[in-house]
Amino acid sequence: MEIKKITAKELKAANGILMLFAIITGLILSIGLMVAGAIMVSMETDLLLAAGVVLLVLSVVLMTVFCIMFGGLKVVQPNEAKVFTLFGKYHGTISTSGFFYVNPFSKTIAPVDNTGEGTPAIKAKASSQEQALSVSLGGGARSVSLKTQTLNNGKQKVNDILGNPIIIGAIVIWHVADPTQAVFAVENYKEYLSIQTDSIVRNTARLYPYDIFDDDDDGETNAGEKSLRGSALEIADNMKNELQSRVKDAGLEIEEVRITHLAYSEEIAAAMLQRQQAAAIIAARQKIVDGAVGMVKMAIDRLSEDEVVVLDDERKAVMVSNLLVVLCGNKDAQPVVNSGSIY
């Protein structure tokens, strides 16, 4: 899906302090004209009466104009931007902080955050009317934040490539790179980012298994195979690149994607825990048996080399059996002293 590109332009705004001083001076002048006109009207001379009426009308017009001009004073905070429209057309963007004066009929436009302050994401529960663009006139108009923000996409239940239900959660660290494109390209860029993140997390989780188990007879595993648990950092980096490609045309830049929660779903968590425990027990037993066989072989070889005792095949078999029981048993061995023959 291709998003229509709107070329951003920096609005050439006048200095707000100078314009405020000029407006106040104009208001004082219009009040002076109104007082002078009222004095002239009170006089009985026809010429002064006509001049007084003209001054009164002129003062009212000037006062109205200067009052309207107050609407052109705009304050832009650090790391914020204001996007302006004039009579339905894009007028320009102010991305530097300060006090400015723009056309008083221009309006700032920005999406409404219906989740309240401090909430990172806009959920789809809000109505389309509530998600409409906020248009306001005056110094209290909404701005587009350029600060680095965190989107907590929450936890969601998906199936991995093996069909196992898992619960996965991710956060996205992002900021607005192009405020003009963010405002005009999509209905609500925060909601757009939240939906795209949800889609990326789901699609990525379906491409990998939660974990890799060695079920091969030869005991070898595929070293190149990735899993959500074992390759979390690499998979998160792939998610970042894919998410960036989707939201780039919306004027957003993704700084980092992190997987914050990863677990089996409740219905299979117990069974998968038993499987992991069984795999750990088997691996431990294999190491114990390998070590025990080596120790038994070393003991028999040393006895034969030093000619401590001459053992036939039957006695070697009994010795091997006893040593393996001692070395591989879960409990401490109870020695039995035999003072007679073993036969």
pTM: 0.66
Question: What confidence tens digit (pLDDT) does each residue in 79-121 have?
Answer: 999 999 999 888 999 988 899 999 999 988 887 654 443 333 4
| Residue 301 burial (C-beta neighbours within 10 Å; 0-12, 13-18, 19+) | exposed
- Beta-carbon count within 10 A of 99 CB: 16
**pLDDT for the residue 244:** 93
Q: Could you tell me the pLDDT band of residue 270, with boundaries at 50, 70 and 90? A: low
Residue 292 to residue 118: CA distance in whole angstroms: 61
Q: What is the signed CA dihedral for 274, 280, 284, 287, rounded to 10 degrees?
A: 130
Question: What confidence tens digit (pLDDT) does each residue in 129-156 have?
Answer: 344 444 433 334 478 989 999 999 888 8
Q: Give the class (CATH, top level) of 148-264.
A: alpha beta
Nearest Cα neighbor of 296 from 337, 334, 325, 335 is 325
Q: Could you tell me the pLDDT band of residue 68, with boundaries at 50, 70 and 90? A: very high
**Residue 107 CB-half CA count within 13 A:** 11
According to DSSP, the β-strands at 89-94 and 80-86 are antiparallel
Each domain of the chain, given as residue ranges in start order, spans 14-74, 148-264, 274-328
CA 78 from chain centre, in angstroms, equals 22
CB 206 within 8 A of CB 161: yes
Residue 305 to residue 314: CA distance in whole angstroms: 19
Which residues is 158 bridged to in the sheet? 166
Residue 238 to residue 250: CA distance in whole angstroms: 20
- Beta-carbon count within 10 A of 127 CB: 8
